[in-house]
Each structure stands twice: as C-alpha cells, then as structure tokens.
Amino acid sequence: MSLKDQITEDMKTAMRAKDSERLGTIRLLQAAMKQKEVDERIVLDDAAIVAIVDKLIKQRKDSITAFEGAGRQDLADKEKAEMAVLQAYLPERMSAEETLAAVKAIVAEIGASGPGDMGKVMGVVKTRLAGKADMGQVSAAVKAALAG
C-alpha cells in the first residue's frame, strides 16, 4: 500500500472513530499534498510525500518553540499532538551515528575536503538520505566531516 493510500485509510478511520484532532491533522497533510500536485502538475510518490511531512513537522517544531517562548502552552501542546500524528508517516530514521557514517562515506566518495565543498556534499547527501535522516543532523554531520 502506498503512503498516499495509507493516509486516506487513516483519514477514514479517524472519521469513523470521530477523532477530530487526528482527522484535522490528516486533512491538513492531504491539503498540502493536493496543493503540491496541483501546483506542479505531478502525482506524488512516497518520497515526495515524506518531504511534505518533513516540512510540516519542521513547521510544527518552529511553532512549538514560538508558543512556548510566548507562554502559550495550550497552543504548543496542540502543535505537539499534530506533530505526533505526522511522524507516523515518516520512515524509520537513521541514528546520529549512522548519519555521520553515511556522510563520511559520501565525503570520501566524492573527494570533498574543507568547508568550501559543503554545497557539493549536501547536494549528494540530500538525494541519498532524504526521508531517512533528520536534515539538521545531516548538516551537522557534513560540517563535522569536512572540518575533520
């Protein structure tokens, strides 16, 4: 079953269970997916859906930080609940050690050295590790690999 079908099934399940919070989050995800399909005139594959989910989770993290800084724990909790629903659609993430090992292998493979090659390395790393690793961790691993 594709990720898109899984999301549709989860929406139906949430409707039957009258789980309004989960349903709202899934509808938000489907709206983002539909927007991308319409804007770019494409049919999304699983990798593109994972990228959208990643983007939505990053937005939630930013919102949580802002709400907690403003003392609005109620809104931060709502964002955390949405983030938990969205994370169910991400594949298993690589650990920090696995990410660093993969980045070091890519750096050695393309012969990069020094911080000036970061763009070249990130281009390759993004295509290979998209959806598999947290891009914040990846960026830190690339900096560490090029500095060392």
What is the structure's pLDDT at 131? 67
* 20, two tokens: 């309004």
- What pLDDT tens digit does each residue of the chain (148 aa) get? 889 999 999 999 999 999 999 999 999 999 999 999 999 999 988 888 988 998 999 999 999 999 999 999 999 999 999 999 999 998 887 777 787 788 888 877 777 676 777 777 777 777 777 767 777 777 788 787 777 6
CATH homologous superfamily, domain 3-87: Uncharacterised protein YqeY/AIM41, N-terminal domain (1.10.1510.10)
pLDDT at 92: 81
Dihedral of alpha carbons 128, 131, 136, 140, sign: negative
Fold (topology level) of 96-147: Arc Repressor Mutant, subunit A (1.10.10)
What single-letter amino acid sits at 107?
V
d(CA 18, CA 12) in angstroms, rounded, equals 10
For the chain, give every domain's residue range.
3-87, 96-147
